[in-house]
């Protein structure tokens, strides 16, 4: 565009400033031209503004905009006019810092994880099969808040049914399910280490109580027998253990989550169909046998 | 244009409450700059693209949060997206108008600044801005025509403020040279016609 003969002293000065600015950009410090740099003559801007802003649009454009405005106003009650990030042009101090959504997200993830742990623990205690791979598979399960499932759970969980122990169960029958809960929590603890928000959760509180203090948790978890990689073998003790300690509330969680699993959406991925079938049959047998 | 920001902010707030007359006020305050910016992006089709942008502005008005200056930035962002959509659809080059010879009816080297002010046509100004590299052209338009400050322009463009500031500076510098408004008069003619 510009011929070489165009470069007078002023031009060269401008180029050098530009180069300096480019270097400044590189380190992100914005060492470019000063904000108030006199750029040529203010008339340049005035000139361009006058020429380009120019004419106002015809009345047609305004009329169409107003029609759209009225339409939006009519439709508004039905619409959720949520302010997205790109709609927030308030001065910076008025805006929420970007940290808030991320914090909320990690809290949500942590609660989902621990909810899944509680679910897995309760499912184990319930006699149903936990999914292979342990609590990880149960991540989608939300913490339960519905109690109606409790009656179904309580008689079952308190009934010793050694007969339904699946073949191949290798865990000693006296291994209490509370300990397995603890294992699950220890695994969750290991996963969540360093992200403190999750540690307020009730599951964490139980772990702390079991360990005898927050500072003992790591040692306590390390002292536990190594967790079985597949959840399968430990299913046995859910059926065999008859203790009621702490099972009631956990079973509430577990069953409510079980309801969720029956939902076609969250579906049967949580446990293989076979395993669910086994759990179902156990559930059917137990009360009959009990009474 | 910044002088109207208080009035604009108030109008926007009333419009968000459903005041149609206030929306019209906001439209009249914003549209000239918005249209100038869109014209710099898409050329001839600017009015249609701006109209599309206003449909979206009206639809999402209640989502917006901010003052008058913020409203200009928000609307410019919407208009820019519509303009880029338009360019994608049209598969035309982003440059709105080729720098035709007949467009360049720049004043001769001896005209005074006042004469320049009188004579610079929209078409010529557009051709000059369009001749700039794309980033410089957009940065200049956002500052000069829409009236955004550096950080707002950077947000509209999705770039770092330092980069936008540099682009604005260079673009304006080059335009000043073309227009002979850079205050250096003893260095020979600097009009486009002579230098190319």
Nearest Cα residue in chain A from B54: A65
Asked whether the beta carbons of residue B28 and residue A84 sit closer than 8 angstroms, the reply is no
pLDDT digits (tens, 9 = 90+) for B145-155: 999 999 999 99
For an interface test with A, give the residue of B12, B43, B170, B194 to mutate (most A CBs within 10 A). B170
The boundaries of the domain holding residue B174 are: 113-195
Is B56 inside a domain boundary?
Answer: yes
The model's confidence at residue B192, banded by pLDDT at 50, 70 and 90, is very low
**Cβ contact, residue pair B169, A22, below 8 Å:** no
What integer is the mean pLDDT of B142-164?
A: 94
Both B69 and B122 in a single domain? no
Asked whether residue B83 falls in the same domain as residue B134, the answer is no
Residue A242 has pLDDT above 90, yes or no: no
**Whether residue B133 is found in the same domain as residue B79:** no
pLDDT band for position A80 (50/70/90)?
Answer: low
Domain count, chain B: 2
Q: What is the DSSP letter of A40?
A: S
Cβ neighbours of B39 in A, within 8 Å:
52
| Structure letter (DSSP) for residue A130 | P
Contact (CB<8Å) B55/A28: no
> Does residue B141 sit in the same domain as residue B75?
no
DSSP codes of every residue in chain B: -GGGHHHHHHHHHHHHTT-HHHHHHHHHHHHHHHHHHHHHHHGGGHHHHHHHHHHHHHHHGGG-BS-HHHHHHHHHHHHHHHHHHHHHHHT--S-SS---TTT--PPPTT--HHHHHHH--HHHHHHHHHTS-HHHHHHHIIIIII---HHHHHHHHTS-HHHHHHHHHHHHHHHHHHHT-SS--SS----HHHH-
Q: What is the pLDDT of residue A219?
A: 78
Chain B residues touching residue A58 (CB < 8 angstroms): 47
CB atoms within 10 A of CB A209: 10
Smallest CA–CA distance, residue A54 to chain B, in Å, is 7
Let me know whether B36 and B77 are in one domain. yes
Tell me the C-alpha distance between A22 and B163, whole Å: 8
What CATH number has the domain bearing residue B64? 1.10.1740.10
Which residue would you say has higher pLDDT here, B122 or A250? B122
Whole-Å CA distances, A117 to A180, A187, A206, A267, B116: 11, 9, 13, 18, 76
* Cβ atoms within 10 Å of B112's Cβ, excluding its own: 10
**Residue A69 dihedral angles phi and psi, to the nearest 5°:** -65, -45
Q: Are A43 and B195 within 8 A, CB to CB?
A: no
Residue B120 binned pLDDT confidence (cut-offs 50, 70, 90): confident
Q: Tell me the per-residue pLDDT of A127-150, one tens digit each, with 9 for 90 and over.
A: 444 444 444 444 444 444 444 444
B149 and B83 in a common domain: no
- Residues in chain A, total: 291
């Amino acid at each position: 565009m510009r011929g070489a003969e165009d470069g007078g002293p002023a031009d060269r000065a401008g180029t050098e400033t530009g180069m300096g600015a480019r270097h400044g950009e590189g380190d992100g410090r914005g060492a470019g031209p000063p904000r108030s740099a006199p750029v040529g003559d203010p008339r340049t801007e005035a000139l361009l503004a006058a020429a380009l802003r120019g004419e106002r649009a015809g009345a047609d454009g305004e009329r169409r905009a107003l029609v759209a405005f009225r339409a939006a106003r009519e439709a508004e009650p039905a619409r959720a006019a949520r302010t997205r990030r790109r709609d927030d042009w308030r001065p910076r101090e008025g805006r929420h810092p970007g940290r808030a959504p991320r914090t909320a997200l990690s809290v949500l993830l942590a609660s989902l994880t621990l909810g899944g742990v509680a679910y897995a623990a309760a499912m184990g205690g319930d006699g149903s099969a936990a999914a292979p791979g342990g609590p990880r598979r149960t991540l989608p399960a939300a913490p339960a808040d519905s109690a109606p499932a409790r009656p179904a759970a309580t008689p079952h969980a308190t009934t010793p049914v050694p007969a339904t122990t699946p073949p191949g169960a290798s865990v000693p029958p006296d291994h209490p399910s509370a300990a397995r809960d603890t294992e699950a929590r220890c695994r969750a603890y290991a996963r969540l280490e360093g992200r403190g928000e999750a540690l307020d959760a009730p599951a964490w509180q139980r772990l702390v109580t079991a360990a005898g203090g927050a500072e003992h948790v790591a040692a306590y978890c390390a002292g536990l027998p190594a967790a079985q990689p597949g959840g399968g073998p430990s299913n046995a003790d859910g059926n065999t253990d008859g203790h009621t300690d702490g099972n009631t509330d956990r079973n509430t969680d577990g069953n409510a989550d079980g309801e969720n699993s029956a939902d076609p959406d969250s579906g049967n991925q949580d446990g293989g169909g076979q395993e669910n079938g086994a759990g179902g049959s156990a559930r059917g047998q137990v009360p009959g046998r009990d009474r | 244009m910044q002088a109207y920001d208080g009035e604009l902010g108030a109008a926007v707030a009333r419009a968000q409450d459903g005041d149609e007359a206030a929306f019209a006020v906001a439209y009249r305050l914003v549209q000239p700059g918005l249209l100038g910016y869109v014209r710099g992006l898409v050329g001839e089709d600017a009015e249609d693209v701006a109209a599309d942008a206003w449909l979206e502005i009206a639809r999402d008005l209640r989502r917006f949060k901010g003052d008058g200056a913020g409203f200009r930035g928000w609307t410019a962002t919407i208009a820019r997206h519509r303009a880029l959509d338009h360019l994608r659809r049209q598969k035309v080059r982003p440059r709105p108008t080729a720098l035709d010879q007949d467009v360049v009816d720049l004043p001769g080297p001896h005209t005074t600044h006042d004469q320049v002010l009188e004579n610079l046509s929209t078409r010529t100004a557009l051709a000059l801005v369009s001749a700039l590299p794309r980033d410089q052209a957009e940065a200049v338009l956002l500052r000069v025509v829409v009236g955004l400050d550096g950080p707002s322009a950077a947000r509209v463009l999705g770039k770092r403020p330092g980069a936008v500031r540099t682009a604005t500076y260079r673009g304006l510098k080059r335009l000043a040279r073309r227009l002979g408004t850079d205050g250096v008069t003893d260095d020979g003619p600097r009009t486009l016609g002579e230098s190319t």
